[in-house]
C-alpha cells in the first residue's frame, strides 16, 4: 500500500480501519457470550468484519477480495481476537459496545458507500446498487449471528440499522445522478447513514411492529 494521494483518502482509510475494528469486536463479544474457543472467536470476528464485503464480492463476481489485497487486515483481526481473549472481561462488553456505536454507525455508512460504488461500476441498476450497499454494511453481522446460532440482530432489533444504510445508499445514488464528484457521494452516504442511525438511537425510534 502506498501513501495516500490526498488527506481525504487518508481519512477514508482511517475510518475504514476503525469500522473494521468495531465490526470485528462485535464478533468477538458475540463469540465470548457463546463461550466459543479461540478458533471460533477468530472466525466469528473475521466474518463480522469482512463477511458483508465478501458476500457482495461473491454476488458481483469481483476478485480479489478486500482481505486478499490487504492481508494485514487478517493479521490484525487475529491479533485483536487473541488480545481480546487474554484481556477482555465480561464487564468490558457493555462499555465496548457503547464505545463502538460511533465507529459502527460511520462504518455502516462507509461500507454502504463502497458497496454502492462497486455495484454502480458494474453497471447494475440503482436498486441493486443500494442493496449491495446494505449487504456490505449489514451482512457481516448477519453471518456472525447465523454462525452463532442466533436470529440475526439486524432482522429483529426493531431499531433502524439496515434502513439507515438503505436511505444513505439512495442519497449516494441521487448525487451520482447529478454528476457530483466521487468524494461528495461518499460523504453524503456516510453523513445520511450515520446521521439517521444516530438520530434513531438518540430519539429511540422503533420500527413498526407486527400486530399479529
CB 105 within 8 A of CB 200: no
Measured CA to CA, the distance from residue 42 to residue 82 in angstroms comes to 8
At its nearest, how many Å lie between its own copies and the CB of residue 130? 10
Helices (H), 61-181: 66-69, 71-87, 90-99, 101-121, 126-147, 153-156, 162-177
At its nearest, how many Å lie between its own copies and the CB of residue 17? 18
CB 114 within 8 A of CB 187: no
68 binding its own copies? (CB under 8 A): yes
Measured CA to CA, the distance from residue 156 to residue 7 in angstroms comes to 39
**Per-residue x/- mask for its own copies, residues 19 to 38, rule CB under 8 A?**
------------xx-xxxxx
Q: What angle do CA 64, 19, 159 make, to 5 degrees?
A: 115
Q: Which stretch binds its own copies (CB under 8 A): 15-23, 106-114, 127-135, 175-183?
A: 127-135
At its nearest, how many Å lie between its own copies and the CB of residue 18? 23
105 binding its own copies? (CB under 8 A): no
Tell me which residues touch its own copies (CB under 8 A).
Answer: 31-32, 34-40, 43-44, 54, 58-59, 61, 63-65, 67-68, 71, 74-75, 85, 88-90, 124-125, 127-128, 131, 142, 146-152, 154-158, 161-163, 207-212
Amino acid at each position: 500500500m502506498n501513501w495516500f494521494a490526498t488527506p481525504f483518502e487518508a481519512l477514508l482509510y482511517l475510518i475504514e480501519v476503525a469500522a473494521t475494528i468495531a465490526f470485528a469486536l462485535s464478533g468477538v463479544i458475540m463469540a465470548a457470550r457463546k463461550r466459543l474457543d479461540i478458533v471460533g472467536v477468530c472466525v466469528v470476528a473475521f466474518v463480522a468484519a469482512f463477511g458483508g464485503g465478501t458476500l457482495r464480492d461473491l454476488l458481483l463476481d469481483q476478485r480479489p477480495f478486500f482481505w486478499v489485497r490487504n492481508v494485514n487486515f487478517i493479521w490484525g483481526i487475529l491479533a485483536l481476537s487473541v488480545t481480546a481473549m487474554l484481556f477482555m472481561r465480561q464487564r468490558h462488553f457493555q462499555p465496548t459496545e457503547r464505545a463502538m456505536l460511533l465507529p459502527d454507525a460511520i462504518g455502516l455508512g462507509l461500507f454502504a458507500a463502497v458497496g454502492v460504488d462497486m455495484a454502480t461500476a458494474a453497471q447494475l441498476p440503482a436498486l441493486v446498487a443500494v442493496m449491495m450497499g446494505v449487504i456490505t454494511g449489514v451482512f457481516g453481522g448477519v453471518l456472525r449471528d447465523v454462525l452463532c446460532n442466533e436470529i440475526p440482530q439486524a432482522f429483529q432489533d426493531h431499531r433502524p440499522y439496515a434502513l439507515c444504510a438503505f436511505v444513505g445508499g439512495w442519497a449516494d445514488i441521487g448525487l451520482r445522478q447529478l454528476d457530483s464528484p466521487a468524494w461528495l457521494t461518499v460523504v453524503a452516504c456516510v453523513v445520511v447513514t450515520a446521521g439517521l442511525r444516530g438520530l434513531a438511537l438518540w430519539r429511540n425510534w422503533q420500527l413498526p411492529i407486527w400486530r399479529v
